[in-house]
Amino acid sequence: MEFDMVQACPGTGGKAAQRREKIIEAARKLFIDNGFHATGVAQIAKESGIAVGQLYRDFASKEEIIAAIAAQDTNEVLNSDDIERSVADRDESALWRWLEEFFKPDPECPSVLIADIVVEASRNPKVAGIFGGCHDRVRARLLGVLEVLVPGDAMVAARDTMADMTLMVSLGILQHDLIRGREEAYHLAGVAFASLREQILALRNQHVGDGHERVEKGGLCSVCSGALADG
């Protein structure tokens, strides 16, 4: 089953939207406290103060609730309006800042909830579809940002590799946040961003132009070098 990740996120006006938001926030709390698998619809209804029958009229299944949560959190990560404007304006300073923040665990979205969604996705095809939809949206945004910072058709393979590596590393940092704590996770986020920045600057040195200034420091990592060779 496929979910529309945009439609899954409720609007901000009207009693129906407010009721859905109460359900979503109650479910978010219970998923964090008990896990997705161990939380039932009846528990969500009780926590939210919404009757079970009404809850099912707003959300046909527990998976649709997690889809709404995932849509909200993905929209926060994408920061859609601001980042779209920065990409359109080719505002490199804003894009660098967005990439730096991308690696950091979001205090408003506990890492345990994301980890639980990933685990549930391995055994629940519906949740796997939700997670896959979020992944695709975030990857598309990353590619749009990287296209500004590393432009040109010759860089397509390198941008693909960097987007995939960025997603993989960011999930690893979330896991580290759970195990070792926020301070160490933020330190690793800084290291990851510095490494990505060095790779981007090295790639830009290979194709000086499009108004980019040549940066002498940094060399191609083996991953990006391999991506360029394949391209």
Tokens standing for 84? 């779209």
Can you give the three-state secondary structure of 126-154, one letter per residue? HHHHHHHHHHHHHHHHHHHHHHHHCCCHH
CB-count exposure of residue 223 (10 Å: 0-12, 13-18, 19+): middle
Please give the Cα distance from 213 to 36 (Å, whole number): 48
Please give the Cα distance from 13 to 3 (Å, whole number): 22
Low-confidence ranges of the chain (pLDDT < 70): 1-13, 79-81, 108-110, 207-231
Q: Yes or no: say if 38 and 30 are a contact pair by the CB < 8 Å rule.
A: no
Q: How many residues does the chain have?
A: 231
Q: How does pLDDT run across 165-201, given as a tens digit for each residue?
A: 999 999 899 888 888 888 999 999 999 999 999 999 9
Please name each of the domains of the chain with its CATH number. 1-78 (1.10.10.60), 79-230 (no CATH)
Contacts of residue 14, Cβ cutoff 8 Å, sequence gap at least 6: none
pLDDT for the residue 157? 95
Report the predicted TM-score, pTM, of the whole model to 2 decimal places. 0.74
